[in-house]
Amino acid sequence: GIGANAVYTGLATTPSMFEFCRADMCDGAVMVSASHLPEDKNGLKFFTKDGGFTGIDIDRLIDGAASQARMWHGIGVLPPSSGTGAVDCSEHVDFMPHYCRTLKNAMIDEVCAGVPECDTSDVPLPLGGLRVVLNAGNGAGYFFADLLRELGADVSSSIGLNPDGTFPSGVPNPERRSMIDETTRLCEESDADVGVMFDTDADRSGFVLPRTVRPDGTRSNYEPLHRNRLIALLGVIFSDSSPGCTFVTDSVTSEGLADFLEYDLGLNHVRYLKGYANVIGRARELTATGKVNAEVAIETSGHCAMRENGYLDDGTYTAVKVLGLLARVSRANAEEVADAEEKKKAPPPASLLELISDLTEMGEETELRMNVLDGTLDTTRSIFERMAAKVEEACAGKHPAGAAAAVPGWTLDEEN
């Protein structure tokens, strides 16, 4: 063979690896990430310009690597460490500035979206006047604070901007109650417009928004924007930019969300198997038919991939969409408040949460996670299938002993 040249990027986010590939900065990329694994283990995520590897791709890669290893072992030699056929890992590069530029340009475009008089070449500080609390959780998304600062945002109350693999405040997870509470406290103390949270490698995001925004600009009653709420707000964004498009979500989204997307916003909602790779794959398949425009593939965990971004699940890009909307709404509200004061009218609504006020939310939501004692996938699959069968039997119309034996009020959602 002709060998390969491998370069080290240093600390980078998982989504950035795809950008490096599609920008022809490399032919392939491998992310070494602990992600959700125990601290003594690392995972590998593989990318080409076509996107991240699927499970089938990984199987093929493993089979190919094993075949090569057997070949080398069979002839009694080790792969060359230098010269022709070797893998040279001697160069260090810094590709992250390129990735930051793509996000910066995307943010400027978002702030100007739908505003005819907005010239993207004349928007040096599109986030000027906004106070943003970024909680990067000591993960790889720390760089986003500098990007927001360059775009004019006040990020002085942000936290977790020093990368630290021991995660002193706990493993960052936008769904974790302690991370939400910490971000909420900082937003309250700084009267922030929004709080942004990333997971370890910045491919997931969550937000905190004020429920109350007073005419004088002060804010209170901060609430999380994640799970069904985040999907709903993205629905608001895309119902304007791509009317009638399709959202593919995982199977645990609520009926209230389905109604909001389909009846309130006029979008198509497709539920699919839980797991962000499954959801993204389904969106790609639907769009490839030419009959469906699946703009967004999103899991309730915060993994979100958009067609306009190559179906890459990128927490920072999701933040670009939310912050872009916030900047547009804030600018429009400022103009309308001034007009209302002049004409002595009631000021317009100012909270992004009001844009999803028609979303019917579940009265109770609890997630249970049970560990399989032997830790094997086979046992996990077997137990899950048995539990699913029992739950299905307990639903009306499914119990082998008849409807009288079913749990009162339980029905099966056939779509999921």
357: tokens are 């006020």
pLDDT at site 88: 67
pLDDT tens-digit readout, 80-110: 666 666 666 768 899 999 999 999 999 999 9
Mean pLDDT of the chain: 88
Q: What pLDDT score was predicted for residue 398?
A: 62
**Which H or E run contains 259?**
helix 255-259
Instruction: Say if CB 266 and CB 244 are below 8 A apart.
Output: yes
Sorted by sequence, the CB contacts under 8 Å of residue 395 that are 6+ apart come out as 406, 407, 410, 411, 412
For residues 123 and 371, the model is more confident at 371
- Of 26 and 416, more confident: 26
Name the band, by pLDDT with cuts 50, 70 and 90, for residue 412: confident
pTM tops 0.85: yes
Query: pLDDT of 371-401, one tens digit each?
Result: 788 878 788 889 888 888 888 888 866 666 6
Question: Do residues 296 and 287 make contact, with C-beta atoms less than 8 angstroms apart?
Answer: no
Q: Give tens-digit pLDDT for 128-179.
A: 999 999 999 999 999 999 999 999 999 999 999 999 988 999 989 999 999 9
Residue 61 CB: number of other CB atoms within 10 A?
Answer: 13
Mean pLDDT of 191-199: 97
Is-contact 160 195, C-beta < 8 A? no
Do the Cβ atoms of 324 and 312 come closer than 8 Å? no
Of 7, 42, 45, which is closest to residue 313 (Cα–Cα)? 45
Band (77; pLDDT cuts 50, 70, 90):
confident
pLDDT tens for 21-47 read 999 999 999 998 866 677 777 889 999
